[in-house]
Amino acid sequence: MSLQRSKIAKILREGKIGARYKVMGWVRTRRDSKAGFSFIEINDGSCLNNLQVIAEKDLPEYETEVLKAHTGCSLRVVGVLAESPGKGQNVELRAQEVKIIGPVDPLVYPLQKKRHSFEFLRTIAHLRPRTNTFGAVARIRNSISYAIHTFFQERGFIYIHTPIITGNDCEGAGEMFQVTTLDLEAIPKKDGQVDFSMDFFGQPANLTVSGQLEAEIYALALGDVYTFGPTFRAENSNTSRHLAEFWMVEPEMAFCDLEGNVALAVDLLKYVFQWALDHCQEDLVFFNRFVDNTLVQRLEKVVEDDFQRLTYTEAVNILAEADRPFEFPVEWGMDIQSEHERYLCEEAFQKPVVIVDYPKQIKPFYMKLNEDGKTVRAMDVLVPRIGEIIGGSEREDRYDVLLERMKEMQLDPEDYWWYLELRKFGSAPHSGFGLGFERLIQFITGLSNIRDVIPFPRTPGNVSF
Ligand code: ATP
Ligand code: MN
C-alpha cells in the first residue's frame, strides 16, 4: 500500500515520532550545512508553520534534487518524523526520498527570503498567497466565513442566494456597474437615448450593491434570513477601506425592531472575534507579532466590553465639543465622516460604538421614520481603526409612509412596485444590516489596507489580476 500524503498542519499537531510521512508543498528556504546535510523548510498552506526536513548527503538524489530545491519549488518528501534538537520546532522530518515536482530558477523567482512590501506583493497576486501574511489571510477568511455561517445556522437563519445582476438600484443612488452586451462601438439609440430594449435583458441592468431588498422578500416569508455574497460599488474612492468588489453579510429579520437588530449585530461581532481567538490562534499570533502588536489584546477587549450605544444627535454633540479640529465641520445633519468615526471609537470611548437614529436626509428611503419625523431608525457600528463596519436599519414597514419617502427622494414608485406590495400584503416590522466582510478581516488581522485582505482586490484602475 502506498503512503498517503499528510498535511503539515496535521503532522505538527498530532504526528507520531518514528512514523513515516509523505508531504507535498513548496520550499520556503533551504540551508546546506557543512556537516553533510541540508535543512529544507517546506510549507503546504495547511498552516502558518513550515515543516523542517533534514536531508542527508548520502541520499542518492542529494545532488540532483536536494541541492536544486530552491525557494519556491514544489516538492515531495517521504521521511520519518523525529524530535528536533534544534530551536524553533519540536519535530522534523528525516528525509528518505526527496523529489522536485516543479522546479524554480532562483535567479528569477520574485519571492525571496527577505520581507517584501505589501505594495510589491500586490503586483504579484499570483504568488503572494505563498507568503506567510497572505497564507494567513486566506486561512482567516476561510475560518471566519465558516464562523459566520455557523452563527446564523445555530440561530435558525436561512441562507438566501440573492442575485448578482439586478434590474433595481438598491438605494436610488448611482455608483453601480452597468452590465450590458450592447456593442459599445455601435450603441442602439431611440429618440436620442440608448435603446435598452436591444440589450440582453431588454432593460438596464447592474451589478448589485446589496442583497438587502431581495433578502427582505425572503425575510417576509421565512422569518430570519441572511445573504453572504459579493457586492459592487463603482464609486471612485481610493481609500484603505473601500473596494469596488467586496463581500457582504446581510441578515434580515421579520418581527424584529431596531433594538433586536443592534443586539444581533453586537452578538455576531463578538461571536466572530471569539471564534478568531479560539480557532485562528497561530495566524493571529503571527499578525500580532508582525503587523500590530495590540491585536490580540484588542480582540479580547472587544469581546468582553459592552459596545457604546448613542444616538446620532449625541454623537454630533460629542464631536462638537471635541478639543481638536476636524476637516469636515461638525453640525447636525452632516454625514459622519471617517475622522469622526475614529475619534468616537478611538478617543472618546475607546471601544466599538453603535450610533442610531440618523437624520433622514443622509439615509436611504427604506429606513423607518421615527416619530420625530426627522430621524430614521438607522444603526451604524463603528470599530477602532476601521470606522464603520456595519450599516443597517429597521425598515419602513408602513405603506403610506414608504410611498411618501420615495416621492420625497424623487424615486419612481413604479420601479419598486413589488417592494411596496410587501407593505400591502402581510407587512411586518423587520430589520437588517450589512457587515463588510473585508473590513471585518481588517479588524481581525490588523492589516491597514483593505487590498491586502482579499485575494484579488478590485479598485479604480485595477482589475488585471
Ligand atoms: P462607507 O460610508 O464606509 O463608504 P457605506 O455606508 O457606503 O460605507 P453601506 O452601504 O452601509 O456602506 O454598506 C454596509 C457595509 O459594507 C459597510 O458598513 C462596510 O462595512 C461595507 N462596505 C461598504 N462599502 C464598501 C466598500 N466600497 N468596500 C468594502 N466594504 C464596504
Ligand atoms: Mn453605511
Q: What is the CATH number of the domain that holds 247?
A: 3.30.930.10
322 and 419 in a single domain? The answer is yes
Residue 402 resides in a domain: yes
Position 115 scores a pLDDT of: 83
Q: How far is the CA of 326 from the centre of ligand 1 (A)?
A: 22
Closest C-alpha to ligand 1, atom 15: 436
Q: Are residues 137 and 60 in the same domain?
A: no
Is 139 part of a structural domain of the chain?
A: yes
174 pLDDT exceeds 70? Answer: no
**393 CA from centroid of ligand 2 (Å):** 10
Q: Measured between alpha carbons, how far is 79 from 72 in angstroms, rounded to an integer? A: 20
What's the domain count of the chain? 2
Residue 372: strand, helix, or coil = coil
- Ligand 1 atom with the shortest distance to the CA of 244: 27
Domain-embedded: residue 288: yes
- What pLDDT digit, counting tens, does each position of 96-144 carry? 999 999 999 999 999 987 789 999 999 999 999 999 999 999 999 999 9
My answer on whether 235 and 161 are in the same domain is yes
Residue 171 Cα: closest atom of ligand 1: 10
Tell me if 362 sits within 8 A of 335, measured CB to CB.
Answer: yes
Q: 434: CA distance to ligand 2 center in Å?
A: 8
**Ligand 1 touching residue 389 (CB < 6 A):** yes
14 within some domain: yes
Record the pTM.
0.96
Same domain, 134 and 85: no
Region 193-206: mean pLDDT is 95
Ligand 1 site, residue 438, Cβ cutoff 6 A: yes
| Dihedral Cα 126, 131, 135, 137, nearest 10 deg | -90
User: Are residues 135 and 83 located together in one domain of the fold?
Assistant: no
| 355 lies in the same domain as 434 | yes
CATH of the domain at 33: 2.40.50.140
In this structure, the answer to whether residues 146 and 87 fall within a common structural domain is: no
Cα–ligand 1 centroid distance for 434 (angstroms): 8
pLDDT at 88: 84
Quick one: which atom of ligand 1 is closest to the CA of 380? Answer: 18
- What percent of the chain is modeled with pLDDT above 90? 93
Long-range CB contact pairs, 356-359, < 8 A, 24+ = 356/258, 356/262, 356/309, 356/310, 356/311, 356/312, 357/311, 357/312, 357/313, 358/312, 359/312, 359/332, 359/333
Q: Are 181 and 123 in contact (CB under 8 A)?
A: no
Cα 390 to ligand 2 centre (Å): 7
Average predicted confidence (pLDDT) for the chain: 96
Q: Kindly state whether residue 204 falls inside one of the protein's structural domains.
A: no
Looking at the structure, tell me whether residues 272 and 161 fall in a common domain.
Answer: yes
Closest CA to 244 of 214, 208, 203: 208
d(CA 184, CA 172): 25
Say yes or no to pLDDT of 172 above 80: no
pLDDT (tens digit, 9 = 90+) per residue, 277-320?
999 999 999 999 999 999 999 999 999 999 999 999 999 999 99
pLDDT confidence of residue 18: 98
Please spell the DSSP secondary structure of 39-74, one letter per residue. Answer: EEEEE-SSSSSPEEEEEETTSTTTTTTGGG--TT-E
> Looking at the CA of 390, which ligand is closest?
1
Q: Are residues 98 and 138 in the same domain?
A: no
Q: Give the per-residue pLDDT at 170.
A: 53
Smallest CA-to-CA distance from 453 within 293, 242, 298 is with 242
User: What are the cell numbers at 341?
Assistant: 468615526
Residue 228 lies in a domain: yes
Separation between Cα atoms, residue 50 and residue 38, nearest integer Å: 15
| 376 has a pLDDT exceeding 60 | yes
Full DSSP string of 394-434: EBP--HHHHHHHHHHTT--GGGGHHHHHTTTSS---EEEEE
If one residue of 209, 248, 334 were mutated to test the ligand 1 pocket, choosing by the most ligand atoms within 8 A of its CB, it would be 248
pLDDT score at 465: 81
Write down the pLDDT at residue 87.
86
pLDDT (0 to 100) of residue 171: 54
**CA 10 / ligand 2 centre spacing (Å):** 42
Considering the domain boundaries, does residue 187 fall inside one? no
Query: Looking at the structure, do residues 271 and 316 belong to the same domain, yes or no?
Result: yes
Distance in angstroms (rounded) separating the CA atoms of residues 394 and 261 = 7
Q: Give residue-wise pLDDT tens across range 248-269.
A: 999 999 999 999 999 999 999 9
pLDDT at position 86, please?
A: 85
Cβ-contact 253, 198 below 8 angstroms: no
423 lines ligand 1 (CB under 6 A): no
386, 444: one domain: yes
Atom of ligand 1 nearest to the CA of 392: 11
Atom of ligand 1 nearest to the CA of 433: 14
Q: What is the DSSP string of 205-255?
A: EEE-S-SHHHHHHHHHHHSEEEEEEEEE------STT--SEEEEEEEEEET
Residue span of the structural domain in which 163 resides? 128-173+209-452
The three cell numbers locating residue 29: 528556504
Grid coordinates representing 110?
520574485
What does the pLDDT look like over 16-71, one tens digit per residue? 999 999 999 999 999 999 989 999 999 999 999 999 999 999 999 999 999 999 99
Is residue 117 domain-resident? no
* The predicted structure's pLDDT at residue 169: 61
In the predicted structure, residue 380 carries a pLDDT above the cut 90: yes
- Do 215 and 329 reside in the same domain of the chain? yes
298: enclosing H helix or E strand = helix 295-304
pLDDT(446) > 80: yes
Query: Is the confidence at residue 348, as pLDDT, over 70?
Result: yes
Helix-helix angle 132-154:437-445, to 10 degrees: 120
